[in-house]
């Protein structure tokens, strides 16, 4: 079972890592392809625009009415001056052509800048025309995608080889951002699904661990229960055998002795059944409290009386320091004394084998609360144990604690009941030195 669990966890972890790596590379691939696709379409569109712009470049060498009217004196010269694209089209006209070409190539609303350059006599590049943001985009070579295309008169036209050299530049600012934006939903969805798988895996592993813990606890509980019932059952069986003995039947004293053993063991089993029943009632929240005014001091004394015999046997004692000036609370008599009984029982049970139990019970009160401290000189417990003792079924598994039997239900009951009395409980302890349980219960408020 444990091995299957480990194998499943490892396998799922491996496949998760695989899926994530795969997903990552698929995403990168997708981004790369989209970038190349955009670039290709930009190039295609630019070539379309360039072709259109230069379509008539060669035709009009001999007839330039506009240029002729603007510069009438140079008319004859102008007639032979090569036509430039930048001279024929305004920025807005060129922009419109770009937008049209981009639309044809599935690049609607793509941000772009453009410019047309020519060369002066020294061969330096000169910008003839450019959209307002072109220079900035053109210089940002890191983020912009720049493409250029020569504007030449078409072969076979009159202007071939006569026109001046011009180059059409297009710059797409922040190409990467554009690519990511166009893939936003696909990236988001794939990240989201990956996160969902991770979360589901986490929850599954946690649930499996919790189940494992529950299975262990159940096992422990059944072991404990079997042990707890086995002892009285075998004691009773022995006592009954003894009672059948002729000699014992004759002897009244012995008869009494054996029957009292049977009675005692019977009561012990009854207490166990009660404990288990109480725990299940607690879980189903079936316990209803009947609050009455209670004197904490008298409950403490009565509870201590129950342990007189056990303490005598172990040569221990209980010391009282009942300093609280007010000790009346509103509580359920049965459950409140059960709580105190459980705490004293633990103080006696978890005593050291080498030292008699010395238990100190102290109370103190302020206007609102009564503080009850139950202190022992027993085996104590580690920090980790202290954190878990109030959990149902929890029992410390170290040292000689295992010699002492129980169901691990006592303190979870004490805690639930303390809370039902609107109180608090805390524990301080150090291994080998002893433990202190402190209860803080609200005092009954006098309505005068």
**What residues make contact with ligand ADP under the rule CB under 6 A?**
346-347, 350, 376, 378-381, 385, 389, 394-396, 401, 406-412, 435
Please give the Cα distance from 440 to 114 (Å, whole number): 80
CB of 379 to ligand ADP, least distance (A): 5
For residues 127 and 393, which CB has a smaller minimum distance to ligand ADP in the complex? Answer: 393
Q: How far apart are the first and last CA of the chain?
A: 65
* 320 beta partners: 361
* 318 beta partners: 359
CB of 190 to ligand ADP, least distance (A): 49
- Residues found in the chain: 448
Tell me which residue has its CB nearest to ligand ADP.
Answer: 406
For residues 173 and 408, which CB has a smaller minimum distance to ligand ADP in the complex? Answer: 408
Please give the Cα distance from 260 to 245 (Å, whole number): 16
For residues 130 and 282, which CB has a smaller minimum distance to ligand ADP in the complex? Answer: 282
Residue 34, C-beta contacts closer than 8 angstroms, at least 6 positions apart: 179, 182, 183
CB of 423 to ligand ADP, least distance (A): 17
For residues 365 and 429, which CB has a smaller minimum distance to ligand ADP in the complex? Answer: 429
CB of 424 to ligand ADP, least distance (A): 17
CB 440 within 8 A of CB 424: yes
CB of 324 to ligand ADP, least distance (A): 22
Please give the Cα distance from 49 to 114 (Å, whole number): 11
CB 351 within 8 A of CB 379: yes
For residues 331 and 410, which CB has a smaller minimum distance to ligand ADP in the complex? Answer: 410
For residues 389 and 420, which CB has a smaller minimum distance to ligand ADP in the complex? Answer: 389
For residues 236 and 396, which CB has a smaller minimum distance to ligand ADP in the complex? Answer: 396
For residues 262 and 381, which CB has a smaller minimum distance to ligand ADP in the complex? Answer: 381
CB 117 within 8 A of CB 125: yes
CB of 313 to ligand ADP, least distance (A): 18
> Taking the CA of residue 355 as centre, how many other CA atoms within 13 Å lie in the half-sphere pointing to its CB?
14
**Chain centroid to CA 92:** 56
For residues 147 and 394, which CB has a smaller minimum distance to ligand ADP in the complex? Answer: 394
User: In which element (H, E) is residue 94 found?
Assistant: helix 91-104
- Cβ neighbours, 10 Å, residue 348: 19
CB of 213 to ligand ADP, least distance (A): 16
DSSP class of residue 444 equals P
Buried/exposed code over 136-166 (b: 16+ C-beta within 10 A; e: otherwise): ebbeeeeebbbbbbebbbeeebebeeebbeb
> Phi, psi at residue 278, to the nearest 5°?
-60, -40
CB 381 within 8 A of CB 435: yes
């Amino acid at each position: 079972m444990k091995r299957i669990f480990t194998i499943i966890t490892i396998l799922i972890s491996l496949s998760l890592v695989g899926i994530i790596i795969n997903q990552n590379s698929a995403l990168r691939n997708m981004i790369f392809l989209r970038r190349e696709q955009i670039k290709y379409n930009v190039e295609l569109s630019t070539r379309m625009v360039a072709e259109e712009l230069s379509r008539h470049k060669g035709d009009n060498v001999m007839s330039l009415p506009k240029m002729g009217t603007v510069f009438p004196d140079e008319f004859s010269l102008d007639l032979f001056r090569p036509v430039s694209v930048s001279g024929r089209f305004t920025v807005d006209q060129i922009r419109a052509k770009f937008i049209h070409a981009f639309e044809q190539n599935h690049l609607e609303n793509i941000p772009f800048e453009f410019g047309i350059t020519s060369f002066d006599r020294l061969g330096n590049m000169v910008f003839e025309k450019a959209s307002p943001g072109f220079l900035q985009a053109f210089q940002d070579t890191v983020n912009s995608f720049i493409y250029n295309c020569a504007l030449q008169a078409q072969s076979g036209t009159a202007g071939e080889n006569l026109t001046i050299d011009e180059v059409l530049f297009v710059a797409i600012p922040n190409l990467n951002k554009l690519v990511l934006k166009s893939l936003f939903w696909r990236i988001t969805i794939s990240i989201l699904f990956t996160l969902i798988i991770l979360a589901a895996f986490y929850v599954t592993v946690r649930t499996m661990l919790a189940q494992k813990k529950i299975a262990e606890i159940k096992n422990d509980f059944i072991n404990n229960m079997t042990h707890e019932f086995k002892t009285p059952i075998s004691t009773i069986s022995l006592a009954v055998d003894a009672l059948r003995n002729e000699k014992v039947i004759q002897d009244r004293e012995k008869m009494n002795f054996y029957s009292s053993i049977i009675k005692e063991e019977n009561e012990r089993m009854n207490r166990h059944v009660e404990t288990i029943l109480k725990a299940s009632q607690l879980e189903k929240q079936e316990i209803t409290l009947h609050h009455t005014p209670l004197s904490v001091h008298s409950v403490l004394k009565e509870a201590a009386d129950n342990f007189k015999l056990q303490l005598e046997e172990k040569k221990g004692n209980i010391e009282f320091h009942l300093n609280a000036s007010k000790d009346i609370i509103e509580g359920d008599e049965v459950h409140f004394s059960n709580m105190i009984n459980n705490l004293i029982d633990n103080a006696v049970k978890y005593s050291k084998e080498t030292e008699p139990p010395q238990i100190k019970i102290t109370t103190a009160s302020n206007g609102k609360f009564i503080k009850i401290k139950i202190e022992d000189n027993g085996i104590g417990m580690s920090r980790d144990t202290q954190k878990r003792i109030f959990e149902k079924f929890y029992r410390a598994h170290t040292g000689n604690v295992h010699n002492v039997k129980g169901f691990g239900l006592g303190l979870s009951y004490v805690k639930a009941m303390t809370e039902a009395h609107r109180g608090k409980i805390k524990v301080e302890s150090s291994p080998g030195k002893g433990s202190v349980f402190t209860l803080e219960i609200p005092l009954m408020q006098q309505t005068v």
